[in-house]
């Protein structure tokens, strides 16, 4: 495919490689997995599992590659109702393989689910702070490259503005944020929050269970028809586990379904984003679903306008991909990340400060 070149402030398109027969369009791929299709994807690079004490919780963290005191780790942050293992296909496509670490957010995957009936966004920011502190204490790293998808992209972007000297480069994978809100929306939002907390305790928000890992894989393909069968079978075993009754339970707390009590404040978000010093790459799929999700209340042009407050910004569009672009086009994304982060393999050009002193 050749060298990937990024143009600052411009949108670049990367076509997919065609290998063998072209894949059928998404709508043509059946959701039901054939009985003979029982072989999951085989990972090229096995991850190591760690449980780190972060803010009183045993946090599950996956690592790939080897740490080095002069290297800048790649920290990959997953999205809502996802897990760290979701990055396996992307990691397998990286060449060379950097030191990568990816946590399961609190209440997801193998990380502990705290005894709480709702989650707040600042918790993710403080958890990330604790994660990087722990990594620094273990390996000596002072600066990091952040790569976040969806919800994880929003966390990464905000953190890069809050601790600008700690982040060397930032990659936002479809972390679009939310439509603007207004004060008159607060009463209904708080009512909804209270109602959903009540529904949670009454068992009305419980996550669906599945009869088998294959049924979980079928559910993943239904959500993303571009997902290959072998990858769906592999992901299913990390996205869910059998419970005491033998049903496969999604590894996520139902409390994540409770709406935030706090309205999304665009002005506050922009104020934080304007503090970002790291070169930033915003990556989106050609088939992004912003219009389908929000219509005219929040458009892709609105998102581009928000991101424009970041001083050093590049945009990248990936063709033949959906929201889960790290599943759909891992090789294309890996090549783009390697090109963007290639000069970030060693200590950064900016002086660093500790997390506590980063403005």
pLDDT over 60 (residue 296): yes
Q: What pLDDT shows up at residue 113?
A: 86
Q: Give the chain's mean pLDDT.
A: 88
Q: What is the pLDDT of residue 18?
A: 29
The pLDDT score that the predictor gives to residue 24 is 42
Cα dihedral angle (273, 310, 314, 353), rounded to 10 degrees? -80
The tokens describing 98, both together, are 């950097």
Is a pLDDT exceeding 80 seen at residue 139?
yes
Asked if the bond preceding 239 is cis, omega within 30° of 0, the reply is no
- Both tokens of 129, joined, read 């702070």
- 217: its two tokens: 């894989």
What stretches of the chain show up as alpha helix (H) in DSSP? 88-93, 121-139, 151-162, 186-201, 213-223, 229-239, 266-273, 290-294, 300-307, 325-328, 330-341
pTM score, whole prediction: 0.89
Do residues 165 and 277 touch, judged by C-beta distance below 8 A? yes
- The confidence score (pLDDT) of residue 34 equals 60
33-52 tens-digit pLDDT: 665 567 999 999 999 999 99
Residue ranges and CATH numbers for the domains of the chain are 1-18+38-180+264-359 (3.40.50.1820)
Question: What letters, b where the CB count within 10 A reaches 16 and e where it falls short, cover 75-108?
Answer: bbbbbebbbbbbbbbbbbbbeeebbbbbbbbbbb
339 confidence band (pLDDT: 50, 70, 90): very high
Model pLDDT, residue 349? 42
Q: Measuring CA to CA, how many Å separate 126 from each of 112, 121, 155?
A: 15, 9, 10
Residue 16 has pLDDT above 80, yes or no: no
Q: Please give the helix or strand (H or E) that residue 209 lies within, else none.
A: strand 209-210
Mean pLDDT within 158-173: 98
Which one has a higher pLDDT value, 359 or 285? 285
pLDDT of residue 35: 55
Mean pLDDT for 71-76 is 96
pLDDT at 115: 86
| pLDDT range class, residue 1, cuts 50, 70, 90 | very low
Question: Residues near 212 by Cβ (< 8 Å), separated by ≥ 6?
Answer: 248
Lowest mean pLDDT among 48-52, 69-73, 121-125, 140-144: 69-73
Over residues 187-236, the pLDDT tens digits come to 999 999 999 999 999 999 999 999 999 999 999 999 999 999 999 999 99
- Rounded to an integer, what is the distance from CA 172 to the centroid of its chain? 9
Strands of the 313-318 sheet, one edge to the other = 11-14, 313-318, 280-285, 167-173, 144-149, 74-77, 100-103, 57-64, 48-54
């Amino acid at each position: 495919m050749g060298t990937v070149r990024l143009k600052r402030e411009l949108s670049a398109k990367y076509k997919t490689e065609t290998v063998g027969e072209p894949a059928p369009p998404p709508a043509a791929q059946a959701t039901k997995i054939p009985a003979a299709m029982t072989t999951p994807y085989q990972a090229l690079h096995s991850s190591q599992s760690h449980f780190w004490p972060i803010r009183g919780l045993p946090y599950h963290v996956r690592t790939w590659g080897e740490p080095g005191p002069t290297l800048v780790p790649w920290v990959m942050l997953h999205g809502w109702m996802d897990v760290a293992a979701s990055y396996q296909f992307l990691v397998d496509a990286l060449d060379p393989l950097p030191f990568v670490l990816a946590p399961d957010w609190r209440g997801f995957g193998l990380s502990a689910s705290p005894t709480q009936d709702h989650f707040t966004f600042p918790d993710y920011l403080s958890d990330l702070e604790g994660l990087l502190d722990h990594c620094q204490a273990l390996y000596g790293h002072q600066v990091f490259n952040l790569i976040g998808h969806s919800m994880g992209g929003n966390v990464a972007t905000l953190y890069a503005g809050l601790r600008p000297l700690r982040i060397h480069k930032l990659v936002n994978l479809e972390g679009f944020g939310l439509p603007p809100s207004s004060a008159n929306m607060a009463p209904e939002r708080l009512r909804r929050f209270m109602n959903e907390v009540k529904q949670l305790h009454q068992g009305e928000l419980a996550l669906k269970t599945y009869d088998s890992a294959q049924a979980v894989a079928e559910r993943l393909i239904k959500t993303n028809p571009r997902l290959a069968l072998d990858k769906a079978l592999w992901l299913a075993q990390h996205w869910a586990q059998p419970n005491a009754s033998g049903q496969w339970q999604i590894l996520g707390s139902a409390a994540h379904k409770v709406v935030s009590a706090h309205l999304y404040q665009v002005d506050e978000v922009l104020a934080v984003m304007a503090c970002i010093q790291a070169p930033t790459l915003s990556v989106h799929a050609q088939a992004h679903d912003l219009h389908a999700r929000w219509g005219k209340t929040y458009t892709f042009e609105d998102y581009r306008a928000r991101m424009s407050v970041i001083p050093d910004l590049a945009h990248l569009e990936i063709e033949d991909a959906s929201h889960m672009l790290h599943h759909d086009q891992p090789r294309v994304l890996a090549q783009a990340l390697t090109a963007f982060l290639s000069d970030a393999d060693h200590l950064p050009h900016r002086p660093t400060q500790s997390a506590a002193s980063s403005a």
